[in-house]
Structure 1
């Protein structure tokens, strides 16, 4: 074996020798197991992926207009009108070009400046949401990742080429479909900031930008990473079978790349530039009074380079658009009119417990106002909802409550509102606990074959204990009747009975009462029938 070969190359050579000799078979995840000598040769027939074919057909027949995409996004995303328009145009231009190249492959030989996109804006304003719904509308595979998890090739961390491999997996291992997908990279501003660190080699900032350059333009990416042993072995297995080999790489020429980030410090930098240019022209006050995130609409290439991006990297992101911060009224509109909003989600959550959940307009406005103070955009809504309703979700499913309305007072004082609601419905909770007693009897009969019933006194005492200890009937019964099955089975053998009543005395002192019943059963044990001599 040559000393110049790597361990992976040596392993590959050994596997190839073994495959040629027919002394090895693959099982499990590898396609097409290699039969041993003399075995019947069967050709593997792969069924075409119907879903992938339908998606490819939609791409071939792409006919959306920018306004149609914008209108579709309006159903899910509130505000961001400029971003929706810019993205709609960029998406239509890109997939119209893809469609034309599919119809006429010669067009791929022409120079085409791909409209990769840079999204700027504070957290929670809908950047990821917009792209997810665009990919859903078109039907192409979509991959999202955070830029901070990547490092320069050869260092610990993920390789940016893994994004293309993930896209391949998302497309059902269909290379033709994967090459028309969308790759979305969030927190891109973090790797720009990292490249400004003085001293040492920056492997997660500038290094990642350089690796992304070739991906965003036009390059071939190997489907199997050099460190992916399973993939390498699978590829060798396919090669050993002969026949037409599968395509082992994906070209990124038609993959659309979108990168995004909050760019907080970039807004400050643009503000200083504008303030400097406004001195002496009477506009200083107007600049100072602006919301910091609004300056992202005025970003220029020089600002991005100064921020820490490589000029070549910025050049590959020709489409740039900033998203606006969301006001309290915007958050209110999200809850009232956006499809699949958080309010509808909570309605479904409570409906799963048989509870009708309603909210007044004043309550929605109160939640929106509190969420706006969180300074996390639409994500603040989830924070407020969880804070207000966490104990409602815990208590109400076991309280027998069938409906409740959330008012402004509920949002302002959730603990007091819940306490009042539970008090008003206390009789309903006892009904729920009574039903749980019946459930315990049914489970006990199913598991043991013995039937237990509870006297009225026993039922009331169990319910009182459950209320006092804030426990379910199941927990109370499992604690008090842990030896019930063992004892009743002894009694059943002695007396040949299968039906028993649990009394109030047994609820109070289960061990002593059960012991008495067992002793009595031995004293009253039915004599065994003697057999004829």
Structure 2
């Protein structure tokens, strides 16, 4: 977590600004939450264990950056991150997913992260071992020859308890000494010759002269697992499902078979195999559990869908919603979740919840659950100015993405500023007329504008394409003016 240690709240906000336009309050809140994690690590126990994370609820319509803020935050912190939709869970006993499954999924992501880091740490050793194995395939090592004369062992055993010991090796073995010396000398020459050939092959391998050569390599392929049955309802059943799948993989292990590969491909496969061999699974599991407990982030989307609607009666649909809230409460408060890798405590996992809260409000959540989300942030709807900035400013701006895509076809794609303004205006207009999906509308607008170019790019003679406001209007005006078409196309 070295990257986490070096980031102040202002630095975190600056990093988020590179990808997310606006929503300064939300960025500020998550930046403070991230820094508080580092601060907690500096506090001495036992007080450190008493400091709980300050969970956050983001309130705002879809497409304004709630998920992106949480995802980018996790990338900055190098933390395992998982997004789950609260509406997909149901109360234990109903048909639906067990809420504890999100912690198990988070741990699996952490194990993948730690495994990757550990394998990168042994890359150099794995590369050396892989190269030696590949050279063994190209030039099998010379088998060691037996240098002891056939009668030597028997003679030694006879003389082991004898009163008279031979005066010399020649006396003991007579004329066989010269023959043995010749064999040893021949074996040494053969070994020296093999070593020289091996070093020559090594130089050829490094220079790429062997890239076109094919070698036969023993590779492992995983047999298909047994039938996967999605197990729902009571706690621990999903763990039983994964345990059953593990059992299937042990009963039916991967099969080895010979496969012909080019030398570069064979070397890459051997590197991966050696890296996996050098990584200690127990150490990976231990680090992953600690990373999950201390740095994990769970993003609970659509939390408003499990809140009781304001003013609603005690209808049956609310029973399940309240049940999910009751199941979520101990996870968010801090409890121990059993996984196939071992117990995981959730006390210090950061939970970020989000919801539009159109028909209800955060106060409609269970009071106990509300108390576990002390920070609430409102995200603002996006307008024409924000859409223009989203198209142009971020590191991953759509204009930059499509320019890079067309460059692969040898086409220089340019956008006039008025054209970008027009696309932003049309996106806002369609959002107002139909369902407001926020910045996601820009993806659809861009696809419609560049549809002809994307289709004809390979055959175009003119290698420069300029998008003007007139061209944008030509491509979109009829669709944007027709509300029915807008619903289905834009």
TM-score (norm 2): 0.57
Q: How does 1:255-266 map to 2 (within 5 A)?
A: 255-266=349-360
Residue 124 of structure 1 contacts residue 376 of structure 1 at CA under 8 Å; is this kept in 2? Answer: yes
* Equivalence for 1:470: none
Moved more, 138-147 or 383-392: 383-392
Residue 148 of structure 1 contacts residue 204 of structure 1 at CA under 8 Å; is this kept in 2? Answer: no
User: Partners of 1:366 and 1:91 in 2: how far apart?
Assistant: 38
Q: How does 1:169-180 map to 2 (within 5 A)?
A: 169-172=108-111, 174-179=288-293, 180=295
**Residue 166 (structure 1) aligned with residue 111 (structure 2):** no
User: Partners of 1:401 and 1:250 in 2: how far apart?
Assistant: 60
**Residue 409 (structure 1) aligned with residue 455 (structure 2):** no
Alpha-carbon offset, residue 191 of structure 1: 1.3
* Equivalence for 2:306: 191
After superposition, the CA RMSD in angstroms is 2.2
Alpha-carbon offset, residue 136 of structure 1: 0.7
* Equivalence for 2:346: 252
* Equivalence for 1:21: none
Alpha-carbon offset, residue 135 of structure 1: 0.9
User: Partners of 1:410 and 1:201 in 2: how far apart?
Assistant: 50
Unpaired segments ≥5 residues, structure 1 = 1-54, 225-246, 267-302, 417-533
TM-score (norm 1): 0.52
User: Partners of 1:258 and 1:134 in 2: how far apart?
Assistant: 11
Alpha-carbon offset, residue 176 of structure 1: 1.3
User: Partners of 2:409 and 2:92 in 1: how far apart?
Assistant: 51
User: Partners of 1:208 and 1:401 in 2: how far apart?
Assistant: 59
Alpha-carbon offset, residue 87 of structure 1: 2.1
Q: How does 1:261-410 map to 2 (within 5 A)?
A: 261-266=355-360, 304-305=362-363, 308-373=364-429, 374=431, 375-410=436-471
User: Relative CO higher for 1 or 2, CA cutoff 8 Å, sep ≥ 6?
Assistant: 2
User: Partners of 1:248 and 1:203 in 2: how far apart?
Assistant: 32
**Residue 100 (structure 1) aligned with residue 39 (structure 2):** no
1:216 to 332, 353, 359: 332
SS in 1 for 2:298: strand
Residue 90 of structure 1 contacts residue 319 of structure 1 at CA under 8 Å; is this kept in 2? Answer: no
SS in 1 for 2:426: helix
User: Partners of 1:66 and 1:357 in 2: how far apart?
Assistant: 37
User: Partners of 2:463 and 2:319 in 1: how far apart?
Assistant: 57
Residue 388 of structure 1 contacts residue 411 of structure 1 at CA under 8 Å; is this kept in 2? Answer: yes
* Equivalence for 1:286: none
Decide whether aligned partners of structure 1 residues 152 and 197 sit closer, same or farther in structure 2, where only a CA change above 3 A counts. farther
* Count of matched residue pairs: 295
User: Partners of 2:391 and 2:445 in 1: how far apart?
Assistant: 12
Decide whether aligned partners of structure 1 residues 415 and 311 sit closer, same or farther in structure 2, where only a CA change above 3 A counts. closer
SS in 2 for 1:264: coil
Residue 114 of structure 1 contacts residue 217 of structure 1 at CA under 8 Å; is this kept in 2? Answer: no
SS in 2 for 1:249: strand
SS in 2 for 1:413: helix
Residue 392 of structure 2 contacts residue 398 of structure 2 at CA under 8 Å; is this kept in 1? Answer: no
Alpha-carbon offset, residue 114 of structure 1: 2.6
1:117 to 21, 46, 56: 56
SS in 2 for 1:385: helix
User: Partners of 2:304 and 2:462 in 1: how far apart?
Assistant: 48
SS in 1 for 2:79: coil
2:29 to 80, 86, 98: 86
Decide whether aligned partners of structure 1 residues 360 and 151 sit closer, same or farther in structure 2, where only a CA change above 3 A counts. same
* Equivalence for 2:173: none
Q: How does 1:477-496 map to 2 (within 5 A)?
A: none
User: Partners of 2:52 and 2:110 in 1: how far apart?
Assistant: 25
User: Partners of 2:108 and 2:309 in 1: how far apart?
Assistant: 30
